[in-house]
Amino acid sequence: MKMPYLLLLLFISFTSFSITAQEIKTLTYFENDSTKLELDLYLPLKKSDKKIPLVIFAHGGGFSGGDRFGEKDFANSLAKNGIAVASISYTLYMKGKDFGCNSTLPEKIKTIQIGVSDMWQATSFMIKNKNAYNIDASKIFIAGISAGAEIAFHATFWDYSIMNLYSNNLPSGFTYKGLIGGSGAIMNVDLITSKNAIPMLLSHGSEDPTVPYATGSHRSCPTNSEGFMTLSGSYAVYNRVSSLKKNIELITSCGAGHEFCGYLFGKEPDYVLDFINNVIAKRKFESHIIIPNTKKSEDLSQYPFCN
């Protein structure tokens, strides 16, 4: 009786490995003499006659750490629902350096610009290979956590012709279908206009000291520091996009800090799935979901909805 049981276990293990191998493809999307950048492409096991949406995801880590492997459950949950996910590696320009108050503004801008250019390269790669992986290039969403969300914001709203560090390779007029950001920010919220605004799903802690929730200093740096940089976070973006009468959802965790950055991807992937389906169905929406403050001693009077 023991031998058939062991054989069964081996069969199950082999079958599970085979399914995973078919589901995740590791691809090189950019390579030169000094750099090789890869992505993991999560594809639905159930094949479709129709082209499928794609989410391109950038991890967090302050542009100095982190990797593309951290959100496998999120990627698998979307793939099981017919949506492909490309989780990318990108240049960690700040590895071994200070991305905080002892850095400089030009270095911070350069850091984001390199990450954004990598994202554009990954997007171009997926568009060029859309037929091989049954991707609908008109339904490409961009997503990220923390530093990855900063990449997503700037890849969406920076001027591609000016800020791209590589060859011009995205199709003329390309736009992402929607943006999903966890605790991200943009340098200038006025970059978002009625003409270029896209649907967004954002989450952020109201007391984030690393990436400002509203408009404030990156890493809470004082104004006289070398690394002072103003950023507009999710709440500022929400107010801007709402004023433009465009589609946006914000989830605010009152009293939470930067640890809330992974909420959408780690705890509530169904929010992401619903968002993608609503965007594809061209539904109108605007909402601000409030997670109540659990730190009752904290003064959150600047955000009345938190009290």
Region 4-12 average pLDDT:
46
Write down the pLDDT at residue 32: 87
Q: d(Cα 274, Cα 279) in Å, to the nearest integer?
A: 9
pLDDT tier, 242 (very low <50, low <70, confident <90, very high otherwise): very high
| Of 295, 229, 304, the residue nearest 260 (C-alpha) | 295
- Residue 258 and residue 231 in contact, taking contact as beta carbons nearer than 8 Å: no
Region 53-68 average pLDDT:
97
The per-residue pLDDT for range 192-223, each reduced to its tens digit, is: 999 999 999 999 999 999 999 999 999 999 99
Find the Cα–Cα–Cα–Cα dihedral 32, 107, 161, 165, rounded to 10°.
Answer: -10
Which CATH superfamily is 25-306 part of?
Answer: Alpha/Beta hydrolase fold, catalytic domain (3.40.50.1820)
Residue ranges of domains in the chain: 25-306
The per-residue pLDDT for range 11-38, each reduced to its tens digit, is: 444 444 334 434 799 999 999 888 899 9
Mean pLDDT of the chain: 91
The DSSP annotation for 140-196 comes to EEEEEETHHHHHHHHHHHS-HHHH--S---SPTT---S-EEEES-EES-GGG--TTT
pLDDT tier, 6 (very low <50, low <70, confident <90, very high otherwise): very low
pLDDT of 104 over the 50 cut: yes
